[in-house]
């Protein structure tokens, strides 16, 4: 019996040590030579996105907040490390700068696809300062979006955690 696993998003970071070194570079406002990246293959979730047997691929790189340079070559280099020959299969590419990401979606402050930098200073008050991170400090209000803890994204954990905290705030009459 064979099992096929379909993965729509791939995290590209290398070893723990490599990823930590890259993150140190980012925290020092320097662009790493091999940035941590996300590669999405949207056609796996929606086959209608295939055009003439060409697979669309979306890649994001972790770059310093507000980065003004072009990260295209480092991103392709990172993908090439794990998928040799990738560069030769690129038919067309559309690159967005940090400024363009932010302009297209104001949630992408500084180009961050996670609704702003997840810094240690920001974490305790994200999305607001409250004893229970799944509330807004207001009874019955449970803010949820792709920009709330436990981590940003469209994976559903934000809503799952909020639902888990609701019974503690319900008053039984």
Give this prediction's pTM: 0.66
The Cα-based distances of 165 to 46, 56, 78, 136, 168 in angstroms read: 33, 38, 39, 12, 6
Domain co-membership, 112 together with 130: no
Instruction: Tell me 36's DSSP state.
Output: -
3-class secondary structure, 157: helix
pLDDT by 10s per residue, the chain, length 173: 566 667 678 888 889 999 999 989 988 989 998 888 888 887 777 777 777 878 888 888 888 888 888 999 999 999 999 999 999 999 888 888 888 888 887 777 776 666 666 666 666 666 666 666 666 667 777 666 666 655 555 556 666 666 776 666 666 54
Please give the pLDDT value at position 136. Answer: 67
| Domain count of the fold of the chain | 2
Q: Are residues 78 and 134 in the same domain?
A: no
DSSP string, 100-136: HHHHH-TTSGGG-TTSS---TTTGGGSS---SSTTS-
CA 23, CA 32: separation in Å to the nearest integer?
8
Which residues constitute the domain of residue 59? Answer: 1-117
83 and 6 in a single domain? The answer is yes
Q: Are residues 37 and 97 in the same domain?
A: yes
The predicted structure's pLDDT at residue 81 = 92
The reply to whether 78 and 11 lie within a common domain is yes
pLDDT at 106: 72
């Amino acid at each position: 019996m064979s099992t096929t696993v379909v993965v729509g998003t791939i995290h590209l970071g290398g070893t723990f040590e490599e990823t930590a070194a890259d993150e140190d570079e980012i925290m020092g406002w320097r662009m790493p030579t091999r940035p941590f990246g996300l590669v999405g293959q949207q056609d796996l979730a929606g086959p209608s996105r295939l055009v003439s047997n060409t697979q669309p691929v979306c890649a994001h790189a972790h770059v310093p907040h507000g980065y003004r340079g072009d990260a295209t070559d480092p991103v392709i280099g990172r993908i090439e490390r794990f998928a040799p020959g990738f560069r030769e299969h690129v038919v067309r590419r559309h690159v967005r700068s940090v400024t363009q990401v932010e302009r297209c979606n104001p949630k992408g402050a500084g180009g961050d696809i996670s609704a702003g930098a997840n810094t240690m200073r920001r974490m305790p008050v994200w999305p607001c300062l409250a004893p229970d991170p799944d509330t807004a400090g207001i009874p019955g209000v449970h803010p949820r979006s792709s920009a709330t803890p436990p981590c940003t994204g469209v994976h559903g954990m934000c809503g799952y955690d909020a639902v888990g905290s609701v019974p503690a705030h319900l008053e039984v009459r």
